Amino acid sequence: MRGTEPARARGLEQGALMSLRVSELAARLGARVENLSTDVRLTALAMADSAGADELCFIADGRVRPAGRAGAVLVHAAADHRNALVVDDVMLACARSCAWLPVRRNGAARAQRISSLASSATIASSAQLGAGVEIGEGSVIEARVVLGDGVSIGAFCHIDVGTVIRGEATIGNRVRIGAGSCIGDAGFAYLRDGSSWCAMPGFGSVCIGDDVSILPQVVIHAGVLGDTVIAQGCILDSQVLIGHDSMIGAHSAIAGQSAVAGAARIGRGCRIGGKVGIGEGVEIADGVTITAMSMVTRSIGSAGARYSSGWPAEPSATWWRRVADFRRSRQ
């Protein structure tokens, strides 16, 4: 017997059927309507490159324009935008809109497909499977695993006890995910709204390549604007946190309790020691080694470099010279 994710939970993730007239949304956001009928009814919030005639999208960068089909577009300045809702802060208005409109993820269409479960897959009776789930041949889904709508699991994977995978995540072939891991939930992306915090909507997902090994209690957040990517052959130790929209290059290794903040980019073949912190948007070149308990606040552009402890992290040779100088000064 195969479990089924409760319909109520699926509805919360995909968003219940809702609609809102432009006039109502503009009033709630304090927006100005330009080149747009106030009677247009909006049913969802989507990215600009895929928004339909009944959907709201946003343009935070004036150089980027929607495909022209969006029902309404949040912009900072109307200019020659069609269907514009002009606001002071586009991203904050986008976040606020989630209170009234469901978010359509970039890969949401996968949740509408027919589930495909390989006959050779082993699925525990207590596992919960949402709509449109795919599980490849020879894969093992252990007890109390939750696979949300549209999740895709490749061949010969092993998903251990109590793991939760949501947000239309895509898992490659021969992937092992340890017990109690959480993949594809909303990331830590918030905007200041007066004295409160407003959560950014998540349009992206998680994409894990082939031959990845993930130990227990790892958390990988879904992307906000794009996907969070763990490339092929990576290994992630227990209690590692990968933030939204991050990219971990092929065959990189990250040791226990390290945290990678949102939108960071780690190159191929990197080795990240335990309890390392990598800051938001930091880019690390291929083959870099960062030793345990380092804090990386700036990008590292030298391939094959070695960085060590300290705040902020710096080249190992520099760090050890500082340690030697300190020791001599204490004698």
Tell me what pLDDT residue 69 has.
82
Q: Is residue 46 part of a domain?
A: yes
* Tally of domains in the chain: 2
Q: Is residue 173 part of a domain?
A: yes
Domain boundary among 40, 65, 97: 97
- Pair (148, 276) in one structural domain: yes
Tell me what pLDDT residue 80 has.
62
- Pair (42, 157) in one structural domain: no
Maximum CA extent, the chain: 79
- Pair (147, 260) in one structural domain: yes
- Pair (285, 161) in one structural domain: yes
Annotated catalytic residue: which of 76, 81, 221, 244?
A: 244
Query: Residue 331 and residue 322: Cα distance in Å, rounded?
Result: 15
Torsion (CA) 311, 252, 158, 12 in degrees, nearest 10? 60
The one-digit pLDDT tens for each residue of the chain (331 residues) are 344 433 333 333 344 457 899 999 999 999 999 988 888 999 999 988 888 889 999 987 655 555 558 899 999 876 667 789 999 999 999 999 998 999 988 766 665 678 899 999 999 999 999 999 999 999 999 999 999 999 999 999 999 999 999 999 999 999 999 999 999 999 999 999 989 999 998 999 999 999 999 999 999 999 999 999 999 999 999 999 999 999 999 999 999 999 999 999 999 999 999 999 999 999 999 999 999 999 999 999 999 999 987 666 778 888 788 888 888 887 7
Residue 221 annotated to the active site? no
- Pair (220, 133) in one structural domain: yes
CA distances to 136, 168, 202, 203 from 100, rounded to whole Å, are 37, 22, 15, 16
Give this prediction's pTM: 0.85
Give the pLDDT confidence of 218-263 residue by residue, as tens digits: 999 999 999 999 999 999 999 999 999 999 999 999 999 999 999 9
Q: Is residue 53 part of a domain?
A: yes
Q: Is residue 107 part of a domain?
A: no
Domain boundary among 68, 97, 126: 97
Give the pLDDT confidence of 15-60 residue by residue, as tens digits: 445 789 999 999 999 999 998 888 899 999 998 888 888 999 998 7
Q: Is residue 6 part of a domain?
A: no
- Pair (31, 175) in one structural domain: no
Q: Is residue 222 part of a domain?
A: yes
- Pair (31, 129) in one structural domain: no
- Pair (75, 130) in one structural domain: no
Q: Yes or no: say if 2 and 143 are a contact pair by the CB < 8 Å rule.
A: no
Domain boundary among 41, 70, 97: 97
- Pair (240, 163) in one structural domain: yes
CATH number at residue 145: 2.160.10.10
CATH number at residue 25: 3.40.1390.10
Q: Is residue 10 part of a domain?
A: no
- Pair (84, 158) in one structural domain: no
Query: Residue 220 and residue 262: Cα distance in Å, rounded?
Result: 10
Tell me what pLDDT residue 79 has.
64
Tell me what pLDDT residue 219 has.
98
Query: Residue 222 and residue 92: Cα distance in Å, rounded?
Result: 19
Q: Is residue 45 part of a domain?
A: yes
Tell me what pLDDT residue 10 has.
34
DSSP per-residue string spanning 33-49: EESS-TT-EE-EE--TT
- Pair (33, 122) in one structural domain: no
- Pair (120, 174) in one structural domain: yes
Domain limits for position 30: 17-97
